[in-house]
Amino acid sequence: PSNIHSVAKVHRVACIPGDGIGVDITEAATRVLNTLSTVLKTFEFDFTTFDWSSKAYLERGWYMPPDGLDQLKKYDVIYFGAVGWPDVPDHISLWSLILPIRKALNQYVNVRPTSILPGTKSPLADCKREDLDWVIVRENSEGEYSGQGGISHEHSEHAVATEVSIFTQVGIERIMRFAFDTARSRPRKKLTMVTKSNAQRHGMVLWDKVFYQVAKDYPDVSTDKMLVDAMTVRMVLHPTSLDTIVATNLHADILSDLAAALSGSIGIAPSSNLDPTRKNPSMFEPIHGSAPDIAGKGIANPIGAFWSAAEMVRWLGETEAADGLMKAISNVTAAGVKTKDLGGSEDTKGVTNAVCKEIEK
Ligand code: GGG
């Protein structure tokens, strides 16, 4: 009957703009996502914005309320901007917001793809677009970010601090399996595992051991192993030799910043904090921070936010929308509509308008 309409699927998104340019780029990403759903008409977004930020913390003394994590569990996905502000020590802001979310919601994988977008270039001489196409799989729940340790004799010249890295067989095995599955899904089927197991003789040696154990289940994936220091050299001198990379929480955080810089700008790099069991919402955020020096000026590069939004949409099962958004991003950079960090002269609004227009074409 003609009075029966198909009802668009509604995806519930918890939005945490956070600090600095996190606010600018989240606003831009929300506009782009709404444009996408208006054009495609097969789904809608229901955004709820949470003012969990350093500014709010300075006013009221807390980032998230006591039931904050439970509130987030009611959403399909979380979209995050950035965290960090000069008036709050970074270890307070990180440990009050982003790190508890990753841990409590079992987001033990952080996927950070890197590629050179059309119309942009790498700072590496002679590096062509096809030469740099990586996926960094970051262990996101333990290791150097375990938060264990303490300080004794604080405020004295005898202060002693410990920062304990915890690596578990279960934690290592699950990230290895995710990384091998990722490598297997890509044309080159190649995985490089990064540690510092010559100097760190316990946890990193367990990483090596588990890596070789898991590799037996993936005979079709070619593997190699690098020390993190040598890895930085290889990324710069031999980018084509890499494809999928798996590393610890800290190592992969550092390597993915380098990867982003080598692909043209940290402003374009996305990340997905995933709970592969899908029992909890996953969280999507550009890898860059809050950039207080340019916050609120309307000049931040929104591409990392848009690419993260595309990953979110893909995770929600909206493949056509994700592909459409990535195509719109590529067309816009190819046409030279870029912010200053990519060598262009556009501002956040200019790039956002151009991406929306591409989606509407
Ligand atoms: N949008 C990402 C962000 O705000 N990052 C701040 C940061 O330093 N996060 C810590 C981490 O990812 O390890």
Does 6 have pLDDT greater than 90? no
C-beta separation of 134 from 253 below 8 A = no
Nearest CA to ligand 1 atom 6: 289
Does 326 have pLDDT greater than 60? yes
Q: Is 285 in the pocket of ligand 1 (CB under 6 A)?
A: yes
Number of H helices, E strands in the chain: 12, 12
Residues 11 and 2: their CA atoms lie apart, in Å, by 26
pLDDT tens digits along 103-132: 999 999 999 999 999 999 999 998 999 999
Residues 158 and 180: their CA atoms lie apart, in Å, by 46
Q: Is 286 in the pocket of ligand 1 (CB under 6 A)?
A: yes
Amino acid at 4: I
Q: Which residues contact 85 (CB under 8 A, 6 or more apart)?
A: 19, 20, 53, 54, 55, 58, 93, 290, 292
Pick from 63, 83, 303 the residue to mutate for probing ligand 1's pocket: most ligand atoms within 8 Å of its CB: 83
Does 5 have pLDDT greater than 70? no
pLDDT tens digits along 257-305: 999 999 999 999 999 999 999 999 999 999 999 999 999 999 999 999 9
CATH architecture entry for 7-115+267-361 = 3-Layer(aba) Sandwich (3.40)
Residues 323 and 356: their CA atoms lie apart, in Å, by 14
**Proportion of the chain in helix, strand, coil states, percent, rounded to 5:** 45, 25, 35
Tell me, in angstroms, the distance from the centre of ligand 1 to residue 289's CA: 6
The fraction of the chain above a pLDDT of 90, given in percent, is 97
C-beta separation of 76 from 239 below 8 A = no
Collapsing DSSP to helix, strand or coil, 329 comes out as helix
Round the average pLDDT of the chain to a whole number and report it.
96
Tell me, in angstroms, the distance from the centre of ligand 1 to residue 290's CA: 9
pLDDT tens digits along 8-23: 899 999 999 999 999 9
Domains 7-115+267-361 and 122-148+164-263 alike in fold: yes
Tell me, in angstroms, the distance from the centre of ligand 1 to residue 224's CA: 28
C-beta separation of 29 from 82 below 8 A = no
- Per-residue model confidence (pLDDT) at position 8: 82
Does 4 have pLDDT greater than 60? no
pLDDT tens digits along 132-147: 999 999 999 999 999 9
Taking the domains of the chain in order of start, what are their residue ranges? 7-115+267-361, 122-148+164-263
Distances, alpha carbon 178 to alpha carbons 24, 27, 121, 165, in Å: 32, 32, 30, 21
Does 34 have pLDDT greater than 90? yes
Q: DSSP label at 116?
A: P
ipTM for the whole complex: 0.92
Left, alpha or beta for 18 (phi > 0: left; psi -120 to 50: alpha)?
left
Give the pLDDT band of residue 307 (cuts 50, 70, 90): very high
Does 1 have pLDDT greater than 80? no
Superfamily per CATH, domain 122-148+164-263: Isopropylmalate Dehydrogenase (3.40.718.10)
Distances, alpha carbon 199 to alpha carbons 203, 220, 262, 334, in Å: 10, 31, 27, 44
Q: Stretch 220-237: mean pLDDT, rounded? A: 98
